[in-house]
Amino acid sequence: MKYRSTRGGMAPQAFSDILLEGLAPDGGLAVPESVPTVSAETLESWRGLSYAELATEVLSLFIDDISRADLARLTHAAYSAEVFGSEAIVPLKPLGGGVSLLGLSEGPTLAFKDMAMQFLGQVFEYVLARRGATLNILGATSGDTGSAAEYALRGKRGVSVFMLSPHGRMSDFQRAQMYTLQDANIHNIAVHGVFDECQDIVKALAGDLDFKSRHHIGAVNSINWARIAAQIVYYFWGWLRATSGPGQEVSFAVPSGNFGNILAGHFARQMGLPVRRLVLATNENNVLEEFFRTGVYRPRSAAQTHATSSPSMDISRASNFERFVFDLLGQDADRVRACWQSLAEKGEFDLSELRPQFEARYGFVAGVSTHEDRLRTIRAVRDDTGVLIDPHTADGVKVAAPYVEDGVPMLVLETALPAKFSDTIREATGLPAPLPEALRDLGKLPQRVTVMDCDVAQVRDYIVRHADDAQG
């Protein structure tokens, strides 16, 4: 299995070679040269597997430069009951009426990003050790991705994490979650500024190629192929749990932002998993819903991007979308390049002539959920079933509703637990969301964070002093 770029300008590379890179050298994204298929018999033979065993089967189809025995070791370390709270790892939670939640948020940061990050942490450590290399991950976070990366990489050999966050602008819970980590290889840097300013510092440093190569600076962003590959596993898991025999169809509803989660669903479907529909849910930032409705992709500016009560879906452009467009355009890199040329020149591209294929060929439908929808859905699900869902998952439940069909289980991906977004839960129900037992005392633990001015030079200096200093 080799990987190529969506823009056609990269020599084929193995999984471990693209693992540590961001964009392909031609500005495109890495995709498999061909999509592996899974027969109905093979699928049936997977019914009895544990989550980690299933992950070994699915990931080995995409990773052929790590031995099967080693891959099994990595997946068992990533998907253990200690990390995910139970042997199920991903529980299916029925809501009634043919709808179930696929519980992707049982990991340490209570959101689905743990599913991919926990594997990424294991495979980063493995590949770096094999190469005798080290990596210093530099990132900015407003909460979700940064904490998932820190929990996945804490204590890992060969990797340090430098995570910038806006000082005083995260919730108490988010701060406690990140800043209580005491591992020597985790560096929390709180910057006097807003998230965009943190992001600007990261861009400035990552754009300094001399600094970047001298200090082995890397990233764990949402376009990382290993994250997508790890996410494909839970579509198979969900299908196996919701069906009892070959060929039965299941639909998935996916609260979406950067198109990473649902892209994994697209791959699972292309591999032969019997998926009827992939229901894409957006919040008020409906760039993707607009595309699936009209065929026109028109990213927004920062000023046109709303701050909503499902904040992890507040995106202006969808960083993984190019991988789907590549398939839509018959894997023609010239046409992909032309689309992104049009984006650069006109701020949009138009694929409305392909609109009939979106659902008929790829199973995609889309819808929008607003703040009012979110509150109403959280209340209705609690009243009907006693289950409390988070605002992002509520967007999924709301948009899924018109696509629920008799005999086709609808699995809504639970992308976070309500405890993470307690203010909105209180607004919807009058009561805050209860914290999971294991996290009740988090607020009392000592915090470890370095506060800095919003200044590239100060951050650079800190990294130079601390890079590679925890490579035990």
The radius of gyration of the chain from alpha carbons, rounded to an integer in Å, stands at 21
Question: Is 113 considered catalytic here?
Answer: yes
Phi/psi at 161 (5° precision)? -120, 130
Q: How far is the CB of 287 from ligand PLP (least distance, A)?
A: 11
> What is the token pair recorded at 123?
């495979």
Q: Kindly report each contact of residues 21-25 with a partner whose C-beta sits within 8 Å and lies 24 or more positions away, as own/partner.
A: 22/218, 22/219, 22/221, 22/223, 22/224, 23/223
Distance in angstroms (rounded) separating the CA atoms of residues 436 and 108? 11
Cα separation, 291 vs 435, whole angstroms:
37
Q: What angle do CA 93, 94, 95 make, to 5 degrees?
A: 115
* Contacts to ligand PLP by CB under 6 A: 111, 113, 144, 222, 255-261, 312-313, 392, 415-416
Measured between alpha carbons, how far is 37 from 273 in angstroms, rounded to an integer? 9
Q: Which of 2, 113, 212, 420 is catalytic?
A: 113
Structure tokens at 207: 């754009």
E strands, 328-456, are 349-350, 364-368, 410-414, 450-452
Question: How many Å apart are CA 267 and CA 37, to the nearest integer?
Answer: 10
Using the minimum distance from each CB to ligand PLP, give the nearer residue, 5 or 261. Answer: 261
Q: The sheet that has 186-191: what strands, in order across it? A: 217-218, 135-140, 159-166, 186-191, 450-452
Q: Which is nearer to ligand PLP, 134 or 177 (CB)?
A: 177
Instruction: Give the tokens for residue 209.
Output: 């190629």
Between CA 277 and CA 380 the distance in angstroms is 24
Amino acid occupying residue 467: A
Select from 234, 232, 221, 220 the least CA-distant residue to 61: 232
Nearer to ligand PLP by Cβ, of 262 and 273: the residue is 262
Angle at 242 between CA 51 and CA 420, to 5 degrees: 65
Token pair belonging to 430: 């009058």
> Residue 254 pairs with which residues in a beta bridge?
280
Q: For residues 177 and 274, give the distance between their C-alpha atoms in angstroms, rounded to a whole number.
A: 38
Residue 112 makes CB contacts below 8 A (sequence gap 6+) with: 104, 105, 261, 413, 414, 415, 416
Q: How large is the angle between the packed helices 51-60 and 68-78, nearest 10 degrees?
A: 140
3-state secondary structure of 395: helix
Q: How far is the CB of 171 from ligand PLP (least distance, A)?
A: 14
Residues annotated as catalytic are 113
